[in-house]
Amino acid sequence: MNKVRYTSIAIILHWVMALLIFATWSIAIAIDDMPLSPARISGLSWHKWSGVTIFFLVLLRILWRVTHPAPPLKLAMPAWQERAMQLTHIALYLLMLLIPIVGWLMSSAKGYTVNYFGLFELPDLVDKDKALGRLLKEMHELMANGLMVLVGLHIAAALKHQFIDKDGLLSRMTFGGSSNEK
């Protein structure tokens, strides 16, 4: 059994971000075909607020990961699986960082300032440019859908380890059981 876990902060960040990412993507899907209306504007606002929150949390998560490395992987795994896991994690982090940035760029290019719950506005990163806005929208959607595919693979791998391999890998990112924290 693998009993070495991530820190409580890493676990909280992981699950809060997982929920936020799923909610943010779901909001985008729900409002995508809506006509301009108060419901669509409200949905767009919540999507942007969630995206900015994800951006701040991924920065915090990267800082935490740099200062608190992942616990050692104490189980035998084929080299290809370990490499796939490493590449998937790198891609997840890159997409979690890049998707909000591209969304911010897209809003700027479309002429919409991004505000954070009305508390402050993010500066426009580019001048208004409709063609650039359309391109960035396509990139944002493509990356978001790619992120969801990777999330699906990540979940499938965790479930495989939990229910087929029964190696306790999932316990590294859940509360309870043994801990490596002091």
- Distant-in-sequence, close-in-space partners of 68: CB < 8 Å, separation ≥ 6: 7, 9, 10
26, part of any domain: yes
Q: Can you name the residues that pair with 120 across neighbouring β-strands?
A: 116
Percent of the chain at pLDDT exceeding 90: 86
Given a cut of 70, is residue 2 above it in pLDDT?
no
Span of 2-6, 80-84, 161-165 with lowest mean pLDDT: 2-6
CATH of the domain at 147: 1.20.950
121, part of any domain: yes
User: Which tokens belong to 93?
Assistant: 């982090």
The total of structural domains in the chain comes to: 1
Cα gap 116→114, rounded to integer Å = 7
2, part of any domain: no
Q: What is the pLDDT of residue 73?
A: 85
Q: Widest CA span of the chain, in angstroms?
A: 55
- Distant-in-sequence, close-in-space partners of 177: CB < 8 Å, separation ≥ 6: 3, 5, 171
52, part of any domain: yes
Given a cut of 90, is residue 22 above it in pLDDT?
yes
The predicted model gives 86-111 an average pLDDT of: 97
Q: For 53-82, what is each residue's pLDDT tens digit?
A: 999 999 999 999 999 999 988 888 899 999
Average pLDDT, the chain: 93
179, part of any domain: no
Percent of the chain at pLDDT exceeding 70: 95
**Of 31 and 176, which is predicted with more confidence?**
31
**Of 2 and 24, which is predicted with more confidence?**
24
Q: What is the pLDDT of residue 148?
A: 98
56, part of any domain: yes
134, part of any domain: yes
Give me the domain span that covers residue 68. 8-173
Cα gap 9→162, rounded to integer Å = 22
Confidence of residue 176 (pLDDT cuts 50, 70, 90): confident
Given a cut of 50, is residue 181 above it in pLDDT?
no
Q: For 111-136, what is each residue's pLDDT tens digit?
A: 999 999 999 999 999 999 999 999 99
Q: What is the pLDDT of residue 177?
A: 56
100, part of any domain: yes
